[in-house]
Amino acid sequence: MALFDDFLIRSLIAGIGVALIAGPMGCFVVWRRLAYFGETIAHSALLGITIAVVFDFNFMLGVLISSIAVVVVMYYIDRTENLPTETLLGLLAHGGLAIGLVVLSFFPNMRMDLEALLFGDILAVSRVDLVVIWIGGGAVFACLMFLWRQLLTSTVSEDLAQTAEMKPKRANLFFGLLMAILIAGAVKIVGILLIVALLIIPAATVRKFAISPEIMAALAALTGTIGVIGGLGSSLYWDTPAGPSMVVVLMILFALTRLGNFPIGRGNKGSSPSQES
More confident residue, 15 or 94: 15
Q: Give residue 147's pLDDT.
A: 93
Q: Average pLDDT of 191-206?
A: 90
The torsion of the CA quartet 224, 221, 16, 124, rounded to 10 degrees, works out to 50
Residues 6+ apart with CB under 8 A from 120: 187, 188, 189, 190, 191, 194, 242, 243
Ranking 1-10, 81-90, 183-192 by mean pLDDT, the lowest is 1-10
Binned at pLDDT 50, 70 and 90, residue 269 comes out as low
**pLDDT surpasses 90 at 62:** no
Binned at pLDDT 50, 70 and 90, residue 1 comes out as very low
Please name which of 32, 34, 12 lies closest in space to residue 183, comparing C-alpha atoms: 34
**pLDDT surpasses 90 at 101:** no
Q: Average pLDDT of 91-109?
A: 79
pLDDT, averaged across the chain: 84
State the Cα–Cα distance between residues 121 and 245, nearest whole angstrom.
12
More confident residue, 12 or 261: 12
Secondary structure of residue 270 in the 3-state scheme: coil
Q: What stretch of H or E contains 174? A: helix 168-206
**pLDDT surpasses 70 at 222:** yes
More confident residue, 219 or 270: 219
**pLDDT surpasses 70 at 67:** yes
Q: Give residue 18's pLDDT.
A: 93
Q: Give residue 248's pLDDT.
A: 95
More confident residue, 53 or 23: 23
Question: Which ranges constitute the DSSP H helices of 56-167?
Answer: 59-80, 85-105, 114-119, 127-156, 158-163
State the Cα–Cα distance between residues 265 and 263, nearest whole angstrom.
7
Q: Give residue 132's pLDDT.
A: 87
Q: Are 184 and 45 in contact (CB under 8 A)?
A: yes
Q: Give residue 261's pLDDT.
A: 62
pLDDT tens digit string along 235-265?
989 999 888 899 999 999 999 998 866 555 4
DSSP character at residue 207: T
What is the pTM for the complete model shown? 0.88
**pLDDT surpasses 50 at 127:** yes
Q: Give residue 25's pLDDT.
A: 96
* CA 151, chain centre distance (Å): 17
Q: Average pLDDT of 5-15?
A: 85
Q: Average pLDDT of 202-217?
A: 94
